[in-house]
Amino acid sequence: MSAALKVVRAGLFDTLQDLGRTGFMAFGMPTAGAMDRVALTLANALVSNPANTAGLEIGVMGPDLLVEADSVHVALVGPLSPALVEGPDTPPKPIESDRSHLLKRGQTLRLGMVEGSSTAYLAIAGGFALAPFMGSLSTYPRAGVGGFEGRKLAAGDALPLARDHAAPGDDRKLAAPFDYGRGPVRIVWGPQEEYFTDTGRRTFVEADYRVSKEADRMGIRFEGPAIEHAVSVAKGGADIISDGIAPGAIQVPGTGLPIVLLADRQTVGGYPKIATVASVDLPRLGRLLPGQTVRFRAVSVEDAEKLRREQEALLVRAIADFKVARPPGGIDLARLYEENLIDGVVFAHTKA
Amino acid sequence: MSVRYLSCGDTAFTVEFGNEISPEINGRVMALHAAIGRAREAGDLTGVVETVPTMRSLMVTYDPLAASRADLQPRIDMLIARGLPTGMASRRVTLPCCYDDAEFAPDLAEVAERTKKTVEQVIAAHLASPFKVYVLGFMPGLAYVAGLDRSLYLPRRAQPRVRVPRSSVAIAMDMTTIYPFESPGGWHLIGRTPLWMFDKRREQPVFLAPGDSLSFQRVDRKTFDRIAHDVEAGTFDWIKLVNAP
């Protein structure tokens, strides 16, 4: 029997995502990919996967997954309430997030609501045994491509796994929650900031904007004061000749209300874009929930690039600082080695 | 002709060649798209991820961990300064289209009435239009194809349809398009091609590419059904639609 994770109960919006499908925007193909690149990267690192391995992006509420493999290491990143493991003969037991877990055949992972964020991630050691589409496993449901059958998961799906049993090794955990940064969301003006008045631009960076209910993988519509176009909307002030849409582009249609375009955004569009979210803060955007408010603050392209490099260094450090997660009552082998308690044995072996 | 560089955050910038739609401007966009592609194949422009051509601009996306705007912009400037060829050879693509079925062409009679032509004259004008694929976008495989005969110019329908069938051939303004999926749409439906503009089973799922020269070939319902059968079965020979430039 081939290894699989079986969806016993579907969550609300669970899709397989990697870091995105690049190289085909010229054909109108959106990149899709994880809304929170940082969380997926951490989840993958916890189970020693390359960063671009597809994991399960959990939107709003997670699924119940039955392990149909001898054993598998999985990692959960993001707050899930509850997160339980249940055996065929053992009652549900809570498990921690931000760490990996060794699961055995017949166990069921029960994942509840994502709390305080719109997304959480589950990485599987070795990844899924699925064929990429246009070089990526990111699911893009509008075209029915990528991931598992091009759609969100449904009850009864059996997600084929690349490995049938877990590689030996301890479970690991984050030393501390990752620091996404606080304060205003950093933006870079452009590409069409001149389509707005000085007053309009000031409104955009001085007002609070609230995430509306229209927030999904394609983008977030914000509510707040309208941003003034330089030319009246009736005279075409909210129309441009369509151009390319970068991740985090903030378009302002005739309503004057900003829409931030995210993973599943269309490749080109005809509304003027006042600014673009700096890539360092895209993972924060990917976590926002309806009702939350943000403020925007402008930085230069150079500063945005620098901030992104600093975040990458933080991410590398967070991975280097992973701790061994000791199973309750179990022996922590790595810690024994670290503390040289069995050093003599190793030394004797080396000498002989 | 000077270009403008527009910021799109720290992962992209747009090279804008002008603020109008013209074959000359689009020719330069496509030439830079191709020049960057060649430079990347030669191992230059490390950090560039992809380029997205539109009517009058090219968006260049990059990985800020591998390159910076300050590195890349002068290199793009150099490619432009070296001279972009205009009038580049493009693929010539011919798509079969069936206009002779009321189900396929629900707006044909209205288009004829509003443009003061007979139905046959509308079809003839569509067949004679020198079409060119400018941009793909909005949904995967949806092509904005300009060059529609000016006598067929009509604004979009006041009331968009909720469901336009896949592979519908439609016109609006100075453009034609082919719907790659069933979707909402506000263009005038004047025919249908048996081909799929997006077929995920194919190695290159999107058939049309920016820069293609395009024309339609009229087919009857019987021919339509025969081709549709082959497309459905995945046995259709797409290569024969393309002539060497």
The widest CA-to-CA distance across chain B, in whole angstroms, is: 59
Q: Report pTM.
A: 0.91
Banded pLDDT at B158 (limits 50, 70, 90): confident
Q: Is A30 on the interface with B (CB under 8 A)?
A: yes
Q: Are residues A27 and B206, on separate chains, in Cβ contact within 8 Å?
A: yes
- Rounded Cα distance, A144 and B190, in Å: 27
pLDDT value at residue A348: 38
Q: Output the six-digit token pair for B102.
A: 């009321």
pLDDT value at residue B90: 82
Reported as a single tens digit per residue, the pLDDT across B181-191 is 998 889 999 99
Taking CA–CA distances from A299, the nearest residue in chain B reads B9
Q: Measured in whole angstroms, how far is the alpha carbon of residue B149 from the centre of its chain?
A: 17
Residues with Cβ within 8 Å of residue A294, at least 6 apart in sequence: A184, A185, A208, A209, A211, A222, A288
> How many residue pairs from chains A and B have C-beta atoms closer than 8 A?
157
pLDDT value at residue A346: 42
Taking CA–CA distances from A250, the nearest residue in chain B reads B8
ipTM above 0.90, yes or no: yes
Backbone φ and ψ for A38, nearest 5 degrees, come out as -65, -50
Look-up of token digits 């707040």: A224
Listed residue (A182, A204, A170, A202) closest to A323, CA to CA: A170
pLDDT value at residue A102: 96
CB atoms within 10 A of CB B221: 12
Antiparallel, parallel or unpaired: β A259-261 and B57-62 = unpaired
> What residues in A contact B200, CB-CB < 8 Å?
133, 143-145, 150
Taking CA–CA distances from A28, the nearest residue in chain B reads B137
pLDDT value at residue A328: 58
Reported as a single tens digit per residue, the pLDDT across B13-53 is 999 999 888 888 999 999 999 999 999 999 999 999 999 99
pLDDT value at residue A350: 39
- Where does residue A317 rank: exposed (0-12), middle (13-18), buried (19+ CB within 10 A)? exposed
Q: Output the six-digit token pair for A70.
A: 């001898």
Q: How far are the Cα atoms of A10, A91, A118, A163 from residue A156, in angstroms, in the given order? A: 8, 22, 24, 20
pLDDT value at residue A337: 52
Q: Is A204 left (phi over 0), alpha (psi -120 to 50) or beta?
A: alpha
The type of residue at A114 is V
Taking CA–CA distances from A306, the nearest residue in chain B reads B64
pLDDT value at residue A258: 97
Chain A: closest CA distance from residue B22 (Å) = 12
Q: Are residues B53 and A189, on separate chains, in Cβ contact within 8 Å?
A: no
Q: How far are the Cα atoms of A106, A186, A200, A275 from residue A205, in angstroms, in the given order? A: 53, 10, 9, 10
Banded pLDDT at B1 (limits 50, 70, 90): low
Q: Which of A27, A144, A187 sits opposite B200 (nearest CB)?
A: A144
Q: Are residues A142 and B139, on separate chains, in Cβ contact within 8 Å?
A: yes
Banded pLDDT at B159 (limits 50, 70, 90): confident
Q: Output the six-digit token pair for A31.
A: 């990149």
Q: What average pLDDT does range B102-113 have in this prediction?
A: 96
Which residues does residue A68 pair with via DSSP β-bridges, in sequence order? A4
- Rounded Cα distance, B101 and A112, in Å: 52
- Give the best residue of A37, A130, A239, A242 to mutate against chain B (max B CB count within 10 A): A242
DSSP state of B8: B
Residues with Cβ within 8 Å of residue B168, at least 6 apart in sequence: B104, B178, B179, B185, B189, B191, B192
Q: Which secondary structure element, helix H or strand E, spans residue B59, and what is its range?
A: strand B57-62
CB atoms within 10 A of CB A333: 14
Q: How far are the Cα atoms of A9, B93, B146 from residue A80, in angstroms, in the given order? A: 16, 52, 50
- Rounded Cα distance, B79 and B86, in Å: 14
pLDDT tens by residue, chain A, 352 residues: 589 999 999 999 999 999 999 999 999 999 999 999 999 999 999 999 999 999 999 999 999 999 999 999 999 999 999 999 999 989 999 999 999 999 999 999 999 999 989 999 999 999 999 999 999 999 999 999 999 999 999 999 999 999 999 998 899 999 999 999 999 999 999 999 999 999 999 999 999 999 999 999 999 999 999 999 999 988 889 889 899 999 999 999 999 999 999 999 999 998 999 999 999 999 999 999 999 999 999 999 999 999 999 999 999 999 999 999 976 555 555 555 544 444 444 443 433 3
pLDDT value at residue B23: 85
Q: Output the six-digit token pair for A334.
A: 């790595």
- Where does residue B190 rank: exposed (0-12), middle (13-18), buried (19+ CB within 10 A)? buried
